[in-house]
Amino acid sequence: MRVITGKYKGRHFDVPRTFKARPTTDFAKENLFNVLRAYVDFEETRALDLFAGTGSITLELLSRGCPRVVAVEREASHHAFIQSVLRALDDRAGRVLRADALKFIPRCREQFDLVFADPPYALAELPELPDRVFGSALLADGGIFVLEHGKDHRFDGHPCFVEHRAYGSVNFSFFRKPDNNKSENP
């Protein structure tokens, strides 16, 4: 696994072959972050990486200067791997929690500007994730939620849906929480 750009650009981390996680491809990851640049200023973005897997997205967010990135991963070996990478980088902006993302969503009281979720494509609850995120306190007003999913899911009917991007077999659906603090009249 390598970091594509930012302060950790080019850093490589060897993911154990025993991992069950399906890391986001470099091609899809690079395109994802190109799109995200239009939505967020990374240096001012508090981010949450649900179903963190190898921590690849967490590392990209940290590399781009996010002041706070929380990764949530249930698998003990994956959690330990992400923790070891964060220790190696000595980046205090990153934190990894060992937790079930589905249970974490309703319990978390911290708000984030960006929430990224890359659940297993076969996760039965995957279609419910946008409603679960928007029904929780996770997203700050105007915040962005990005869901990585397979081609069999469509979210364009969701009221907070913004856009869909596909890169090979990797699909990203983007959602935005309405900003209730902005006045409609400038």
Cα separation of 14 and 40, whole Å? 29
Cα separation of 26 and 47, whole Å? 20
What domain range is 96 assigned to?
48-176
Assess if residue 100 is contained within a domain: yes
Q: Which of 2-16, 95-109, 163-177 has the lowest mean pLDDT?
A: 2-16
The CATH number linked to 85 is 3.40.50.150
Q: Residue 69 pLDDT > 60, yes or no? A: yes
Structurally, how many domains does the chain consist of? 1
- pLDDT tens for 16-53 read 888 877 677 889 999 999 999 999 999 999 999 999 99
Going by pLDDT thresholds of 50, 70 and 90, the confidence category of residue 67 is very high
DSSP string, 97-110: EES-HHHHHHH---
Assess if residue 135 is contained within a domain: yes
**Which pLDDT does position 40 carry in this prediction?**
96
Cα separation of 125 and 132, whole Å? 9
What pTM value is reported for the model?
A: 0.93
**Which pLDDT does position 30 carry in this prediction?**
92
What are 83's two structure tokens? 């923790």
Assess if residue 126 is contained within a domain: yes
Assess if residue 26 is contained within a domain: no
Going by pLDDT thresholds of 50, 70 and 90, the confidence category of residue 186 is very low
Assess if residue 7 is contained within a domain: no
What's the chain's average pLDDT?
A: 93
Assess if residue 16 is contained within a domain: no
Assess if residue 87 is contained within a domain: yes
Assess if residue 186 is contained within a domain: no
Q: Which of 73, 66, 75 is nearest to 144 (CA)?
A: 66
